[in-house]
């Protein structure tokens, strides 16, 4: 199988100085470049008409985030001023930035390509279901999954369909791009390996449960949580599940994992943040919150940043899981952190977009 030829490429990959995608990089590992201040402080807060669970993209000093009020917003990262806003449908998905455009799907199934500087429509593509996934990119193509059980490959210029891959269940998470293949997990309980050039399915690995999360690739392994309360590592050489970690409280994993060379960190609906040893899937530590954790954690240096539906942002020690900070943001947090330029941007279910960093 051609996938075996790509393992030299399947490293964690360099983290980006910006945060252009849902999990920061094409391998969706949730690891940010650079450092954060020793203590995070709220630099600015903007109140929207409705809440948000969208995860921001941050590129060149601008933060882009969607909201339930049907707008995609562009905020100046320095001061929180709105540079522009674009009308779509209600947005849950994370926007993605590539070259001179920002891409986002909405609950009405419409996928939008928006001019990065002006906030004006370039083109739209209609799918047959709600879009909760973020877009991914390969060359001149953009990939987007939909609840109509399809992964679409579109031309970035004009939005013409190149190919589509039909799964047996809705696609919730973003596609992972690694070499000339893409990895996709969804509600048909399979991890699909798909040829990027043709859209042909190369292999399907049984996950034993539906996936709401975006998978992450590190080395020769793929890591993804399921709705059947399990976190799994898939060996790409053997094309089988290598290890399984089960939540003792019997609650599913909707959050996507952050993956480092040593640890897999993921939030669960069991109200815990879990850290697992990457090689064997054995627990390294857990940290409690007071509500479900659908927010996907981000690793920055020696810290983990993650939100909870209890309304707090947690800053934890990566190695030990001990609490460094606990910052109240709003009523609830489903949005995942976006980290760039020494700042964190995150949204709340009661409509706050919050930027944290160090005050001058």
Quick check: 3 pLDDT over 80?
no
Quick check: 11 pLDDT over 60?
no
- For residue 5, which phi and psi values (nearest 5 degrees)? -80, -10
CA nearest to 305, candidates 350, 277, 265, 352: 265
Q: Name the pTM for this structure.
A: 0.94
Question: Which of 12-16, 213-217, 288-292 is least confident?
Answer: 12-16
Quick check: 17 pLDDT over 50?
yes
Q: How far is CA 320 from the centre of its chain?
A: 24
pLDDT cut 90: percent of the chain above it:
92
Tens of pLDDT, residues 20-30: 999 999 999 99
Over range 5-34, report the average pLDDT.
74
Over range 256-275, report the average pLDDT.
98
Domain residue extents for the chain: 2-357
Distance set, CA 42 to CA 36, 39, 159, 310 (Å): 13, 10, 38, 18
CA nearest to 191, candidates 154, 161, 235, 147: 235
Quick check: 354 pLDDT over 90?
yes
Quick check: 120 pLDDT over 90?
yes
Q: What's the confidence (pLDDT) of residue 16?
A: 52
- Name the residue with higher pLDDT: 15 or 122: 122
Tens of pLDDT, residues 22-58: 999 999 999 999 899 999 999 999 999 999 999 999 9
Over range 162-183, report the average pLDDT.
94
Burial of 174 (0-12, 13-18, 19+ CB in 10 A): buried
Over range 142-148, report the average pLDDT.
97
Q: How far is CA 233 from the centre of its chain?
A: 18
Q: What's the confidence (pLDDT) of residue 157?
A: 95
Confidence of residue 8 (pLDDT cuts 50, 70, 90): very low
Q: Max alpha carbon distance in the chain (Å)?
A: 54
> Coil, strand, or helix at residue 154?
strand
Over range 208-212, report the average pLDDT.
93
Quick check: 280 pLDDT over 50?
yes
Q: What's the confidence (pLDDT) of residue 197?
A: 96
Q: What is the mean pLDDT of the chain?
A: 94
Quick check: 1 pLDDT over 50?
no
Quick check: 2 pLDDT over 80?
no
Quick check: 211 pLDDT over 60?
yes
Quick check: 14 pLDDT over 70?
no
What gap in Å lies between CA 256 and CA 225, rounded to an integer?
7
What gap in Å lies between CA 273 and CA 337, rounded to an integer?
14
Q: What's the confidence (pLDDT) of residue 186?
A: 86
Tens of pLDDT, residues 234-251: 999 899 999 999 998 989
Quick check: 4 pLDDT over 50?
no
> Coil, strand, or helix at residue 160?
coil
Q: How far is CA 100 from the centre of its chain?
A: 21
CATH topology of domain 2-357: Methylamine Dehydrogenase; Chain H (2.130.10)
> Coil, strand, or helix at residue 36?
coil
Quick check: 7 pLDDT over 50?
no
């Amino acid at each position: 199988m051609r996938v075996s030829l790509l393992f030299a490429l399947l490293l964690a990959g360099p983290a980006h100085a910006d945060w252009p995608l849902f999990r920061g990089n094409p391998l969706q590992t949730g690891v940010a470049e650079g450092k954060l201040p020793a203590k995070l402080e709220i630099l600015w807060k903007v109140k929207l008409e409705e809440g948000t669970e969208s995860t921001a993209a941050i590129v060149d000093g601008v933060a882009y985030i969607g909201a339930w009020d049907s707008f995609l917003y562009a905020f100046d990262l320095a001061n929180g001023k709105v540079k522009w806003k674009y009308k779509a449908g209600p947005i849950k998905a994370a926007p993605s930035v590539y070259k001179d455009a920002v891409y986002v799907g909405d609950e009405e199934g419409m996928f939008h390509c928006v001019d990065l500087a002006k906030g004006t429509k370039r083109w739209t593509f209609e799918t047959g279901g709600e879009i909760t996934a973020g877009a991914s990119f390969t060359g001149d193509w953009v990939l987007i999954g939909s609840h109509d059980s399809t992964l679409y490959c579109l031309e970035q210029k004009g939005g013409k369909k190149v190919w589509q891959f039909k799964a047996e269940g809705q696609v919730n998470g973003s596609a992972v791009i690694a070499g000339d293949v893409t990895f996709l997990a969804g509600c048909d309980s399979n991890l699909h390996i798909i040829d990027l050039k043709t859209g042909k399915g190369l292999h399907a690995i049984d996950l034993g449960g539906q996936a709401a999360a975006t998978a992450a690739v590190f080395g020769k392994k793929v890591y993804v949580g399921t709705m059947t309360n399990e976190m799994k590592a898939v060996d790409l050489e053997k094309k089988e599940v290598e290890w399984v970690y089960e939540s003792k409280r019997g609650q599913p994993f909707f959050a996507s994992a952050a993956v480092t060379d040593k640890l897999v960190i993921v939030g669960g609906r069991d109200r815990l943040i879990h850290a697992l040893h990457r090689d064997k899937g054995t627990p390294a530590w857990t940290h409690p919150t007071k509500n479900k954790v659908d927010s996907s954690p981000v690793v920055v240096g020696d810290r983990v940043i993650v939100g909870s539906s209890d309304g707090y942002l947690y800053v934890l020690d990566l190695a030990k899981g001990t609490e460094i900070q606990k910052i109240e943001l709003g009523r609830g947090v489903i949005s995942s952190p976006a980290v760039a330029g020494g700042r964190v941007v995150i949204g709340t279910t009661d409509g706050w977009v919050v930027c944290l960093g160090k005050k001058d």
